[in-house]
Structure 1
Amino acid sequence: MVDDYRRIDRRTFAIGLMAALAACNKSQKSEAAMPGMHTAPRPTLPAPSPVATSFWNAWRTHFLAPEGRVVDTGNGDISHSEGQSYGLLLAYQAGERDTFTRIAEWTEANLARRDMALYGWRWEPAARAMTDTNNATDGDIVIAWALALAGERWNEPRWTERAREVRAAIRKHCVITRYNRQLLIPGLQGFVEDAGVTLNPSYFVWPALDQFAKADGMATWGRVIRDSEDLLRLSRFGRHDLPCDWIRVTGTRSVAPAPDKPPRFGYDAIRVALWGAQGNRTDLTAPVASYWRSCLAQHRPIPAWIDVVSGQEADYALSNGGAAIAGRLLGTAYPTQLSNDYFAASQQMLAQV
Structure 2
Amino acid sequence: MNPGTNIEMAYQSGTDEQQAFVQNLALFYTSFFRAHLRAMESNEENRGACLMGLDMLTSISYVDEVEVFKTCLDYWALFVADIYSGASIPTTPGGGNQVPQPAAGTTMEEAARMHEQYAAQQLAASAAANGAFAFPPAPGAAAGTAAAANGGAQGGGGAGTPLLNMQRRVVYGGVLQRLRALMVNRMAKPEEVIVVEDDNGNIVRETMKDNDVLAQYRTMRETLVMLSHLDYEDTEIQMLEKLRLQMAGQWTWHGLNTLCWAIGSISGTMAEEQENRFLVTVIRDLLNLCEVTRGKDNKAVIASNIMYVVGQYPKFLRAHWKFLKTVVNKLFEFMHETHPGVQ
TM > 0.5: no
| TM-score, normalization by structure 2 | 0.26
Larger radius of gyration: 2
Structure with more of its chain in strand, by fraction = 1
